[in-house]
Amino acid sequence: RGCPCGSRRRVALRSPQVACKAASAVLVKTLRFVQNVPCFQELPLEEQLLLVRSCWAPLLLLGLAQDRVHLETVESAEPSMLQRILTAWQQGEQPPPRAPAPAPGRPQHGPHLPSAGDIQAIKGFLAKCWSLDISTKEYAYLKGTVLFNPDLPGLQCTQYIEGLQREAQQALNEHVRLIHRGDEARFAKLNVVLSLLRSINANVVAELFFRPIIGAVNMDDMLLEMLCAKL
């Protein structure tokens, strides 16, 4: 078994300004797409915001895949905990104290710095999308499936949203059967794409694409402002 340390290495974008600019453009385009969905506009603003806050990251990743945005990364120069301990001992200092474990049930605060494993998950998702050569319509139906998530706590229009998600999946299935008649497994492959999305942390996406250009970003505030604006 290989050492898992490699997947924990901190990494950064090779050209953060370029990648972050591309991600920002995709986010604007994604929210414009969402706002132009008639069924979404019929929902109360509170429901719209709840849906967008929960799925902006997977929608953004689908948009990055659709626009063929490639990620080039480099290892971060930040020393590991082991390196800091060894350096402190060599200099006769006390090793840095170990951070206390968070209390059970209490969320950890602070930035979720992307690791090599985090980036590999995103790259693997993009590669999967590109290998399937997903069409514009298929991307639209996948986005609809992600957007209309009836399982979110706090939703009031649960049955309506569940129906919209079902319609998006049915439309995707019908499209696949019509266009890809010789590939009976394509619908299942496209749903694998959705499962890969669920394994990617939204905090990682925010840290990777938005912190380098706007600092300590509050995605909720930014999404609310963008959602209420005419993009």
Beta strands in 102-200 (DSSP E): none
Query: Which of residues 177 and 230 earns the better pLDDT score?
Result: 177
Question: Each residue of 34-52: pLDDT tens digit?
Answer: 999 999 999 999 999 999 9
Question: Each residue of 95-151: pLDDT tens digit?
Answer: 545 544 444 433 333 455 678 888 899 999 999 999 999 999 999 999 999 999 999
Question: Each residue of 190-229: pLDDT tens digit?
Answer: 999 999 999 999 989 988 888 776 766 677 777 878 877 7
- Print the SS3 string covering 183-207: CCCHHHHHHHHHHHHHCCCHHHHHH
Question: Each residue of 108-123: pLDDT tens digit?
Answer: 334 556 788 888 999 9
Residue 221: per-residue pLDDT: 78
Does the reported pTM lie above 0.85? no
Q: CATH assignment of 9-89+113-229?
A: 1.10.565.10
Backbone region of residue 133 per phi and psi (left: phi > 0; alpha: psi in -120 to 50; beta: other values): left
Q: For helices 16-35 and 219-228, what crossing angle results, to 10°?
A: 50
Residue 166: per-residue pLDDT: 97
CA distance 125 to 146: 15
Query: Which of residues 75 and 152 earns the better pLDDT score?
Result: 152
Half-sphere exposure of residue 110: CA atoms within 13 angstroms, side-chain side:
6
